[in-house]
Amino acid sequence: MASHTVNVSGIAPSTTQAQLHDFFTFCGKITSITIEGEKSGKATIAFEKPSAAKTALMLNGGTLDGSTLSVTSEVIHQDEPHDVTREGHPIDQTDKPRAGIAAEYLAKGYALSDHILQRAIDIDQKQGISKRFLSYFQSLDKSVGERALGPDQTILGKLQSTVASASEQARAVDEQKGYSKTAQDYYGKAVASPFGQKVWNFYTTTSKQVTDIHEEARRIAAEEKAKAASSSSPPTSQTPKETASAAPSSEKTQT
């Protein structure tokens, strides 16, 4: 299997291989990471797809572990054609628009300059949105709406509360067709949010500004925070009566 590599320098001495992997895995599937010497600050990262390597090059000047990275390549990496008919294959990182990937980086707390964010926008405008991603995302409006709400119904044509219910009902059908459950949850919930139309435009058009990426990053971060809070909340096992009886008395004992 051919690999597509980028050269990374300026890596902080404290940065581990695992941290490098976590940082660059947003670009796409990594096949190998080769660190050139213990304290050289250099590494070669190989990706499965050329589009992932191209996204990595977009991150030139990004910050990891307090150090500014230089990301270069000796070859020109191109986006490969996307087959929109790949039934049974979920959406992956290389299908996403670069602006969306940049928003994910910011949401995770990584520092990317506005220059890098503009670079992501420019790539999307030049290359266009992946046909496979666009086809899947648009299916949330048409196909999911028709399956859950009836013929000729669309998600964005319904109230947001109805949208959330529609996405939930259609999830099983999507999974049977091989769509990613994570993608369905993530994008379905996004479109069903109060900012559904803005989210829709962000992922399906190339007309956007740097501020739009920051706004989407804040939305992603807020959703992740809410999800973490929900999963960490302990279940309530005591009834109000039991809770009251278990509480210590605040009255003094009469002697």
Residues 59 and 107 in one domain: no
Q: How confident is the model at residue 226 (pLDDT cuts 50, 70, 90)?
A: confident
In this structure, is residue 106 part of a structural domain? Answer: yes
Boundaries of domain holding 33? 1-78
In this structure, is residue 251 part of a structural domain? Answer: no
Per-residue confidence (pLDDT) for residue 234, from 0 to 100: 63
Residues 118 and 189 in one domain: yes
Residues 152 and 190 in one domain: yes
Q: How many domains does the chain have?
A: 2
> Last residue of a domain, which of 47, 78, 109?
78
For the beta carbon of residue 116, count every other beta carbon within 10 angstroms. 20
In this structure, is residue 255 part of a structural domain? Answer: no
**Mean of the pLDDT values across residues 121-145?**
76
Per-residue confidence (pLDDT) for residue 99, from 0 to 100: 95
In this structure, is residue 248 part of a structural domain? Answer: no
Residues 100 and 48 in one domain: no
For the stretch 117-139, what's the b/e string if a residue is b when 16 or more beta carbons lie within 10 angstroms of its beta carbon?
bebbbebbeeeebbebbbbbbeb
Residues 74 and 178 in one domain: no
In this structure, is residue 169 part of a structural domain? Answer: yes
Residues 182 and 136 in one domain: yes
Residues 152 and 184 in one domain: yes
Q: Give residue-wise pLDDT tens across range 10-66.
A: 999 999 999 999 999 999 999 999 999 878 899 999 999 999 999 999 999 999 999
CATH number at 18 reads 3.30.70.330
C-alpha distances (whole Å) from 199 to each of 156, 157, 205 are 11, 15, 10
- Residue 174 scores a pLDDT above 60: no
Residues 5 and 54 in one domain: yes
Q: What does pTM read for this prediction?
A: 0.71
In this structure, is residue 124 part of a structural domain? Answer: yes
Residue 252, φ and ψ in degrees, nearest 5: -75, 145
> Last residue of a domain, which of 27, 54, 78?
78
Residues 104 and 218 in one domain: yes
> Last residue of a domain, which of 57, 78, 99?
78
In this structure, is residue 184 part of a structural domain? Answer: yes
Residues 138 and 216 in one domain: yes
Q: How confident is the model at residue 159 (pLDDT cuts 50, 70, 90)?
A: very low
How many helices (H) and strands (E) in the chain?
11, 6
Per-residue confidence (pLDDT) for residue 241, from 0 to 100: 44
Per-residue confidence (pLDDT) for residue 90, from 0 to 100: 63
In this structure, is residue 233 part of a structural domain? Answer: no
Residues 102 and 48 in one domain: no
**Mean of the pLDDT values across residues 93-117?**
94
Residues 102 and 21 in one domain: no
| 144 touches 188 (CB < 8 A) | yes
Q: How confident is the model at residue 239 (pLDDT cuts 50, 70, 90)?
A: very low
Which is nearest to 166 in space by CA: 199, 203, 140? Answer: 140
**Mean of the pLDDT values across residues 172-185?**
51
**Mean of the pLDDT values across residues 209-219?**
94
- Residue 135 scores a pLDDT above 70: yes
